[in-house]
Structure 1
Amino acid sequence: MSSPSRFGPRDIAVALAINLVWGLNIVAIKMSVDLVPPFTAALLRQSLVLIVCLPWLRIVPGRMRDLLALSVVIGGAFFAIVNLSLVVTENVGALAIAGQLGAPFSLILAIIFLGERIGIVRVAGMALAMGGCLLLVFDPAAAKEVPGLLLTVLASLMWATGSLLQRRLVGVDIPTMYAWIGLGGTIILAPLALFFEAPVMTGAVLVPPVAFVWIAFSALGSTLIGSGGMAWLLQRHPVTTVIPVTLGAPVIGVVASSIVFGNPLTPVMVLGGTIALAGVAIVTTRSARAREEQA
């Protein structure tokens, strides 16, 4: 049960860590796919997640269909598409903004498949999130990244589908979910990497050691610190309290990519990102409040 207690110094530290690792994750993935082909990088990431979470891998009666679907959608499809999007993209900050479409997509899927009803406020939030992302098309610095943006939109849809599946898996331990995600990703990505990236998979082309550092940061930081920290906060506080303090990740992602890769941070990108983030904040907080009221 979520605790109504206020955020203390330890909670704030955890929230900051979540924002930091999730924000820097896009930089880590970009660095890894610049060193390793995309399917191989995704395979190494998911294999590491599987190894870490292997002690929690177990059959969950009555939940296996959703767990297997989650492993395919998130473990395989999502990370394959994300890595491909970063391979074809130079302006990583634009993808960090476009990735915010996951929240409105999740709400749309909930309306279609769960019959969830929404009010005018969440409709406005969806419109803001999508409108902010659409502004990127009018920014010369981001408009040339259309292939990467389209792949990011598809990845956001995969993420939203995974989010819907996770809602059906309430009560299943997070490490167990990630163990199945790691297993599914490994099984799906291994043949893709072997077929499309055989030189690396067969050892004819060696993987630079530094690539493993970026892949480990992405796998362990995003999974253990990010998802684990989020679960810890949600056990102590209401969802409506936790969600707003973890919305800094895309801002960190945009700023970090601008610094690391020298991507231009234009006024249109700043405006679009601000509008999109405002829409995401409205959608997520109002959706969380609606679930708390139903509980």
Structure 2
Amino acid sequence: MMNILWGLNIIAVKMGVEAAGPFTAAVLRQVIVFAICAPALRIVPGRMRDLLLLGVLSGGVFYAFVNWSLAVATNVSALAIAGQLGAPFSLILAVIFLGERIHITRIIGMFLSFLGVVLLVFDPAAGKEIPGLLLTAIGSVIWAMSSLLQRRIRGVPILTIYAWMGLMGTLVLLPIAMWQEPEMLRAVPDLRVRDMGWIVFSAIGSTICGLGAMSWLLQRHPVTTVVPLTLAAPVISVVVASLYFETPLTPIMMLGGAVAMTGVAIVTIRTAERQKAG
């Protein structure tokens, strides 16, 4: 269920962006997340700096870049592949800031992850999406930074984390939407139910249910069992995006995706094994 929710989410985000604008759609998503999680909002002594920073980065800046990338791109499958750079970027930041030591296996995995995305540039169907790919890469760096922060707030209830993310994300994204999309904001009451449904799906299905399921699983099963299973989500994203938006999956794109996913799998599985051992 978690993989399906995450895999389908790329369609929902793209449709929400097309209907409401990238920043307005992001604001609405975070407002919904906050509205649902608000009862869990509370001060967590000793964790507030990390919670607030996580909310700004993961709840605000990350969605600004992700939605912006989808607004300027037509080949959503290519962006789904590029979005997997979060795993190697997270490992690089862990080495730089946490002093984590890595060996040849994960270095090879990082290399393959980047190589797979680089291959997209040489594909006629995906090469024209360079602005979207760059924005997605920046979003992946923000996601990686957020993943380091999440390590520091272990033990905080998931709904409390997402209450702060929804609140801080709204506070970050609303001024951007007011600046860049004032007409879109004013038109929110006129959004069709179907268009609003895409945004609601992203907020509830992907963020709350998807990530809530991940938290539930990690509380009951070893990380080495759970984390590798999430690798199905990007594969679902690539396939459903290609089918829904009728964009081609060329041989080069499939090769790039396979290489990137192999690298991500190596990094993800080896990192999970290291965390369990530690």
TM-score past 0.5 threshold: yes
2:22 aligns to what?
A: 38
**Map of 1:264 onto structure 2:** 248
Q: Are residue 101 (structure 1) and residue 79 (structure 2) matched?
A: no
Cα pair 2:109 2:267 within 8 Å, conserved: yes
Report how many residues are paired.
278
Distance 1:128 1:31 in 2: 31
Amino acid at match of 2:83: G
Equivalent-residue separation in structure 2 for 1:160 and 1:68 (angstroms): 16
2:41 is the counterpart of 1:57: yes
Separation (CA, whole Å) in 1 of partners of 2:186 and 2:228: 45
Q: Are residues 1:20 and 2:4 paired?
A: yes
The alpha-carbon deviation at position 224 of structure 1 amounts to 2.4
* Deviation for aligned residue 1:31: 0.6
Query: Quick check: 1:97–1:276 contact (8 Å CA) kept in 2?
Result: yes
Which stretches of structure 1, 4 residues or more, deviate above 4 A after TM superposition?
none
Q: Which residue of 2 aligns with 1:161?
A: 145
Once the two structures are superposed, residues 73-105 of structure 1 have per-residue CA deviations (whole angstroms, 9 ceiling, x without a partner) of 011100011110000000000000000000000
Mark the runs of 5 or more structure 2 residues left unpaired by the alignment: none
- Per the alignment, residue 13 of structure 1 pairs with none
Q: Which residue of 1 aligns with 2:177?
A: 193
Number of the residue aligned with 2:95 = 111
Cα distance in 2 for partners of 1:149, 1:30 equals 15
Q: Distance in 1 between matches of 2:192 and 2:130?
A: 30
In the TM superposition, what whole-angstrom CA distance separates every residue of 1:90-146 from its partner, at most 9, and x where no partner exists?
000000000000000000000000000011101011011111111101111000000
Decide which moves more: 85-94 or 32-41.
32-41
Q: TM-score, normalised by structure 2?
A: 0.98
Aligned counterpart for 1:85 among listed residues 69, 72, 75: 69
2:212 matched residue in structure 1 = 228
Q: What stretches of structure 1 of length at least 5 have no aligned partner?
A: 1-16
TM-score by length of 1: 0.92
Question: Where does residue 171 of structure 1 map in the other structure?
Answer: 155
Q: Give the root-mean-square deviation of aligned CA atoms.
A: 1.1
Distance 1:146 1:140 in 2: 11
Deviations 1:188-220 (A, max 9, x none): 111111122112223498323221100011110
How far apart, in 2, do the equivalents of 1:244 and 1:205 lie?
A: 41
> Using the alignment, how far apart are the partners of 1:141 and 1:269 within structure 2?
8
Q: What residue in structure 1 maps to residue 224 of structure 2?
A: 240
Q: Take 2:28 and 2:143, find their aligned partners in 1: how far apart are those partners?
A: 20
C-alpha separation in 1, matches of 2:94 and 2:257: 24
Residues 204 and 211 from structure 1, CA distance in 2 versus in 1: closer, same or farther, beyond 3 angstroms? closer
CA, structure 1 residues 212+205, in 2 after alignment: closer, same or farther (shift >3 Å)?
closer
Distance 2:189 2:27 in 1: 16
Question: 1:148 & 1:207 partners in 2: Cα distance?
Answer: 25
Residue 154 of structure 1 and its aligned partner are, at CA, apart by 0.2
CA distance in 2, matches of 1:245, 1:112: 27
Q: What does residue 186 of structure 2 align with?
A: 202
Aligned to 1:8: none
